């Protein structure tokens, strides 16, 4: 528990001061976020935010990495192969996001060079990372909600494709959610908090969660990301003084997915990232309706759905807080399911 607290506290401080430094660094260099206008069917009601410093996700990722490393200064916490592989995946996604952010800022347009290509690259990388986890660690190859022993055993190839799809989908879902001040960081903070609890619970009960490899290190990893999001929120809360950019959204999304995969809670991820599922689902539904109607009708005034609620009259802060509440409810239900499963197992062993 001390290692988890050390990782979280260190990450909060580094993210808090690191984000403030990035505001000045990017602000003086004109590295501001471009906003899609009416001609691109973008949220033109956010045009006043154009020029706000972006790429603040660098502070989140750096803070999480340093917090995780500092926690390992304590004896008894080894560097787990599984978590090292996870970090490679997170840093790759962060690098992809940084490159896209940099080109957006340089071109002064909110579409990087990748646009469609980025999806193919991140999908390939997600499947590759899933495969590496299988061949490089003893990760459980099950599709489970609360523990590997209660999951569905599938062939290795199926699990790799499933896990790759989870990483890719969660990464993109968080990226879609990152459209209002503090929305993505706040909901991710709750998700990482849930995974920290799950990981520590698994560490304290190895007889029940024996299929989870090195859960304490995953708990430290999750706590470090929670701290990074918390420190960043100080400056990202409405009205935001800095945006996380794709570098932060892609890193956070992949980190959440990796937590679910390594803790055998991939099905529970649907609830833990409930608000991200709603946001990404609204985009998919909007596109489906638009194409089915011959490109004439749209279900929402604008997608993702947070923009729809803004356009029907909700103030931005109202949308953010209500979406945070939805996220909190989803995370609470997920933790309730996890704890209820543990209670049933414990009762059966008495």
Summarised one tens digit per residue, pLDDT across range 10-34 is: 999 999 999 999 999 887 776 666 6
Task: For residue 134, count CB atoms less than 10 angstroms from its CB and return exposed for 0-12, middle for 13-18, buried for 19 or more.
Answer: middle
115 pLDDT more than 80: no
Listed residue (138, 135, 130, 256) closest to 198, CA to CA: 256
Q: How far is CA 200 from the centre of its chain?
A: 19
Overall residue count recorded for the chain in this entry: 350
Angstrom distances, CA of residue 120 to CA of 176, 204, 264, 342: 17, 39, 26, 39
What is the structure's pLDDT at 46?
Answer: 55
What is the structure's pLDDT at 31?
Answer: 63
86 pLDDT more than 70: yes
Per-residue pLDDT of 149-202, as tens digits, reads 667 888 999 999 999 999 999 999 999 999 899 999 999 999 999 999 999 999
What number of H helices and E strands is found in the chain? 12, 2
CA-CA-CA-CA torsion for 220, 238, 300, 117, nearest 10 degrees? -50
> pTM of whole model > 0.85?
yes
What is the structure's pLDDT at 113?
Answer: 53
Q: List the domain boundaries for the chain.
A: 2-266
**Picking from 24-38, 149-163, 207-221, 319-333, which range would have the lowest pLDDT averaged per residue?**
24-38
Residue 143: beta bridge partners?
152
């Amino acid at each position: 528990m001390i290692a988890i607290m050390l990782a979280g506290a260190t990450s909060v401080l580094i993210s808090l001061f690191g984000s403030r430094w990035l505001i000045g660094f990017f602000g003086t260099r004109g590295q501001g976020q471009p906003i899609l206008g009416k001609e691109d069917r973008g949220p033109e009601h956010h045009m006043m935010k154009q020029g706000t410093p972006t790429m603040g996700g660098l502070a989140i990722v750096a803070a999480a990495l340093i917090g995780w490393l500092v926690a390992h200064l304590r004896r008894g916490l080894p560097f787990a192969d599984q978590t090292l592989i996870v970090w490679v995946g997170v840093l790759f996604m962060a690098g992809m996001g940084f490159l896209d952010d940099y080109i957006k800022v340089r071109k002064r347009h909110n579409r990087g060079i990748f646009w469609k290509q980025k999806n193919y690259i991140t999908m390939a990388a997600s499947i590759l990372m899933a495969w590496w986890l299988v061949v490089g660690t003893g990760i459980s190859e099950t599709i489970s909600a609360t523990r590997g022993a209660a999951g569905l055993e599938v062939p290795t190839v199926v699990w790799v494709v499933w896990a790759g799809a989870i990483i890719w989908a969660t990464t993109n879902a968080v990226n879609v959610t990152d459209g209002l001040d503090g929305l993505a960081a706040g909901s991710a903070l709750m998700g990482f908090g849930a995974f920290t609890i799950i990981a520590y619970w698994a560490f304290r009960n190895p007889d029940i969660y024996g299929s989870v490899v090195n859960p304490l290190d995953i708990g430290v990893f999750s706590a470090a990301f929670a701290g990074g999001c918390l420190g960043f929120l100080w400056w990202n809360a409405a009205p935001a003084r800095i945006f996380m950019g794709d570098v932060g959204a892609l890193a956070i999304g992949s980190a959440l997915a990796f937590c679910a995969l390594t803790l055998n809670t991939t099905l529970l991820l649907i609830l833990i990232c409930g608000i991200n599922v709603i946001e990404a689902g609204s985009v998919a539904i909007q596109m489906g309706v638009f194409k089915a109607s011959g490109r004439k009708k749209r279900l929402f005034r604008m997608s993702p759905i947070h923009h729809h609620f803004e356009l029907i009259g909700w103030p931005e802060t109202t949308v953010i807080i209500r979406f945070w509440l939805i996220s909190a409810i989803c995370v609470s239900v997920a933790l309730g399911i996890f704890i209820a499963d543990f209670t049933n197992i414990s009762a059966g062993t008495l």
